[in-house]
Structure 1
Amino acid sequence: MAEIAVEVAFALPECQRVVALRVPLGTTADEAVALADLPGRFPYVPSEAFTGNDLGVFGKRLREPSSHRLRAGDRVELYRPLTMDPKAARLIRATDNKR
């Protein structure tokens, strides 16, 4: 069976990991995330942090990660939920910079 090389990326504020994989042709984004074994690579992160999140390929969010077939060289990115509204974060930074 033909295989392709892909990557799965996950980042925390303090570290990131990009996992290189060889997967069968026709592997979906969801399947690649499962094959990357992120809970085993981040044992201090609750396992539910790796399920149900948005996925993207090279910064473009996937609408249907369970049916998106990967191509050779794709990097699947697992997005964490936002902890703060980006507008509120910019306002806080702008206020802090004026002091």
Structure 2
Amino acid sequence: MHVGVAYADKFKQTWLKLDVPEGSTIRDAIERSGLLDQFPEVDLNVNKVGIFGKLSKLDTKLADGNRVEIYRPITADPETVERRDRDEDD
């Protein structure tokens, strides 16, 4: 099966295309991609993952053409950011 694995840090976006065996999971694809070596800050026990923007579990089976995404933790509370933006406009 052909799948993609995507991750972006503050400086670089990476999207790798790879072949995985039928029955592979999200975890299998991420491990096979080499992104864990390239981005040591990624911790699959902490970072959320998904397929095409939909949160998924690491043991989710993949289908041909899926794009696996590794998400970074949110670093700002959206409500606080919105409030700061309004305060700056005053």
TM-score between the two structures when normalised by the length of structure 1: 0.79
Match of 1:77 in 2: 69
Asked whether 1:15 is paired with 2:7, we answer no
How far apart, CA to CA, are the structure 1 residues paired with 2:10 and 2:82? 17
Distance 2:17 2:82 in 1: 34
- Specify the code of the residue in structure 1 equivalent to 2:79: K
State the shift of 1:31 in Å: 0.9
1:59 alignment counterpart: 53
RMSD of aligned alpha carbons: 1.6
1:32 corresponds in structure 2 to 29
Question: In the alignment, which residue of structure 1 is the partner of 2:79?
Answer: 87
Please list the CA deviations of residues 25-74 of structure 1 after superposition, one character each: whole Å capped at 9, or x if unmatched: 110001111111114334xxxx2424221110000001x322x1100110
Alignment match, 1:49:
42
Measure the CA separation in 2 of the matches of 1:94 and 1:38: 38
What runs of 5+ residues in structure 1 fail to find an aligned partner? none
- TM-score, with length taken from structure 2: 0.86
2:24 touches 2:61 (CA, 8 Å); kept in 1? yes
Where does the alignment leave 5 or more consecutive residues of structure 2 unmatched? none
